[in-house]
Structure 1
Amino acid sequence: MMSPDPLIRFEGVSKTFPGGSTAVERLDLDVLPHELLALVGPSGCGKSTTLRMVNRLVEPTSGRVLLEGEDVADGDPVALRRRIGYVIQDVGLFPHRTVSQNVATVPGLLGWDRARTRRRVGELLEVVGLDPAVYGRRYPRELSGGERQRVGVARALVADPPVLLMDEPFGAVDPEGRRRLQVEFRRIQQDLGTTVMLVTHDIDEAVRLGDRVAVFSRGGVVEQLDDPVRLLTRPANATVEQFIGAGRSVSLLGLGRVTTADLEPVSVLAVGERAGEPGGRTSVELGSSYDEAFAALAAGRTDHITVTDDGRPVGRLDASGLLSGLRRLADSTAPTEPALAQAAVVTPARDG
């Protein structure tokens, strides 16, 4: 099966700023329809510059950026930006406008009628988990950081753009709220099928959210472009390995899911091990993430936990079963078709 045509394509794109500093050099990169592509790397590596060349907040020095097969440089930049959602770390809500008015910004610019705008604003606030009747008339100053970020996402998605650009979108939110927002946003993105480019410096965020992850080094060089599991288990070179760091095994825990292959059979469960019974052992549901299972194992008083399916015990998981599951996950990282196809269009910009 052939990989789909890219929704966004960078063809030999370079950006040199006044004074001679080169942020991106000869970048070739495809973003596929409906995927979330995370751009990750150290500060100054060109990832934000790359993102902003899609909506022409930064103009390339050379090369082309194509959106749905058309050069973004050929049209009106203002019209282009109205077609592309954009979310940044500090959200950028208008402080003097209510939540509903903020979300309605782009529909107003596009000339939507009031009924259509009101209906769509209500829909998007519900999608991001904010009751329109409660939050619609509030002002940004009355919201928490996480709530403001949700409003920013709703505003970016309200006109159903083909692409959503996100630049460190959750960076200003506390760690607990950030994790909740990540989970909620991933659900929204998968439900809507929006194509997303996400810039982050946090490798854990990149592998948790991304369908694929592009690791940048200085000069906009793509050191590796891969699915999260393969990135963590098969770093392409020392640069990627160093950036990922020694904690990549912990990051891998968040990607695996508990399956029946990880379990000892239910027949070995002792009487009284039913989940929820007094004295029963800690349990997790089948399909829970490995990091949830690990946390349950660590919190328990025994060497295993019960795994349930709709509340019914189906087996038990111990440390060796969890380790075996991680090994299977690591062994399942043969290159996928999109990854193989991408290898032909990603060329590290190195001289010599």
Structure 2
Amino acid sequence: MTGETPSRAHIRFDGVGKEYPDGTVAVGNLDLDVAQHELLTLVGPSGSGKSTLLRMVNRLVEPTSGRILVDGEDIADLDAVQLRRGIGYVIQDVGLFPHRTVAQNIATVPGLLGWDRHRTRERVAELLTLVRLEPDVHGPRYPHELSGGQRQRVGVARALATNPSVMLMDEPFGAVDPEGRRALQTEFRRIHDDLGTTVLMVTHDIDEAVLLGDRVAVFSQGGKLEQLATPAHLLARPATSFVDGFIGEARAVKLLAVTELEAQDLDGAAGPGDPHPSVTLGATLETALGVLAAAPDGSVTVTDEAGTAVGRLTPAGLHTALRRAVTANGA
């Protein structure tokens, strides 16, 4: 990135609760720390307070108890409009202005903050490139001229326009078809790794939660935090019967997607020019399983990042890797 310096923040929920006048508890007495650079996914059924919690961070909803601190500062003491301008916000239906071009949409907050035209134009081009849209091609277009996935990419770019320290995402990929959704998930994970913005993402999809999150927070009705854990630990060792049921029966399959292939999982040696299909060390076990399933003789060559063969993976090695993941996470 050649433009704005990456920014990130620490977020602290200190005894935060939200109760509506009719007695409905949306969030109940939550204590939670979100680390700098962390991508925390919030998952749970409808009515578990995920979106309410998210909207309390930018004060679209005010808590009825507790405090929310960003880098030690109580957001209740800040001007709400200025707070929102410093927080990226992406929702499912994107909310692009239909009569403004893609470039004008992305430039919305920079314009409100008084950026000059040159700085704004450079930032728009930089962000379109970041989300893998061509500035000269897509910048002049209007939202209705884009696919759903492209509109969602523009929404992400707009949220990143002023390099916010916090980014809130509420079911950001929910309206995109499955193939496009997986591509967007991969792209956003790459963008987050590059920028390091602190992200809270709401999803109802446990697969998305464990694929994207550095940690996953599972909520039940009334905004009760049932478990907070890394994806691998969550899948290997659900803390409550609610979490176990929410994850479902395919825990081992989900664990494949969040566990990387390591050298200790390999069986035998592979020499130069080995004709077997190959997979890279550090690939997910899900990827390795796909390559292994298509291998004619049930084994694949494993290479390092330079393409040098470092060993061979067999079904026994894959099983060893999965057992390692389960054992390492306390199951």
The TM-score range, normalised by the shorter chain, is over 0.9
Structure 1 residues not aligned, in runs of 5+: 335-352
Give the residue type in structure 1 aligned to 2:296: R
Q: Could you tell me how far 1:326 is from its partner in structure 2?
A: 1.3
2:113 alignment partner, one of 99, 110, 113:
110
Whether contact under 8 Å (2:9, 2:197) holds in the other structure is: no
The aligned residue for residue 298 of structure 1 is 293
2:181 alignment partner, one of 174, 178, 182:
178
Distance 2:59 2:87 in 1: 11
Q: Could you tell me how far 1:314 is from its partner in structure 2?
A: 2.2
The alignment partner of 1:264 has SS state of coil
After TM superposition, where is structure 1 displaced by more than 4 Å over at least 4 residues in a row?
none
1:88-124 Cα distance to aligned partner (Å, 9 max, x none): 0111101111110000000001111111111111111
Structure 1 stretch displaced more, 208-217 or 57-66 = 57-66
Distance 1:287 1:243 in 2: 28
1:25 alignment partner, one of 19, 23, 28:
28
2:283 alignment partner, one of 279, 288, 305:
288
Q: Describe the shift of the 1:147–1:174 C-alpha distance in structure 2 as closer, same or farther (beyond 3 A).
A: same
Q: Could you tell me how far 1:6 is from its partner in structure 2?
A: 7.3
Q: Could you tell me how far 1:316 is from its partner in structure 2?
A: 1.3
Give the residue type in structure 1 aligned to 2:119: R
The aligned residue for residue 325 of structure 2 is 329
Distance 2:154 2:284 in 1: 28
Q: Could you tell me how far 1:287 is from its partner in structure 2?
A: 2.0
1:7-50 Cα distance to aligned partner (Å, 9 max, x none): 11111111112322111111111111110011000111001100
The aligned residue for residue 70 of structure 2 is 67
The aligned residue for residue 4 of structure 2 is none
Is 1:55 aligned to residue 58 of structure 2? yes
Structure 2 residues not aligned, in runs of 5+: 1-7
Structure 1 stretch displaced more, 143-152 or 323-332 = 323-332
Whether contact under 8 Å (2:266, 2:312) holds in the other structure is: yes
Is 1:316 aligned to residue 312 of structure 2? yes
Distance 1:289 1:274 in 2: 24
Distance 2:206 2:181 in 1: 14
The alignment partner of 1:53 has SS state of helix
Q: How is 1:233-252 mapped onto 2 (pairs within 5 angstroms)?
A: 233-252=236-255
1:266-305 Cα distance to aligned partner (Å, 9 max, x none): 25x6xxx945xxxx43221222211111011222222211
Q: How is 1:40-189 mapped onto 2 (pairs within 5 angstroms)?
A: 40-189=43-192
TM-score normalised to the size of structure 2? 0.94
Structure 1 stretch displaced more, 20-29 or 86-95 = 20-29
Distance 1:94 1:201 in 2: 26
Give the residue type in structure 2 aligned to 1:207: V
Q: Could you tell me how far 1:237 is from its partner in structure 2?
A: 1.2
Whether contact under 8 Å (1:6, 1:30) holds in the other structure is: no
Distance 2:147 2:265 in 1: 40
The alignment partner of 1:166 has SS state of strand
Aligned length, in residue pairs: 323
The alignment partner of 2:242 has SS state of helix
Distance 2:289 2:148 in 1: 30
Distance 1:25 1:283 in 2: 49
Identical positions, percent? 64
Distance 2:198 2:127 in 1: 17
TM-score normalised to the size of structure 1? 0.88
Give the residue type in structure 1 aligned to 2:325: L
Whether contact under 8 Å (1:283, 1:308) holds in the other structure is: yes
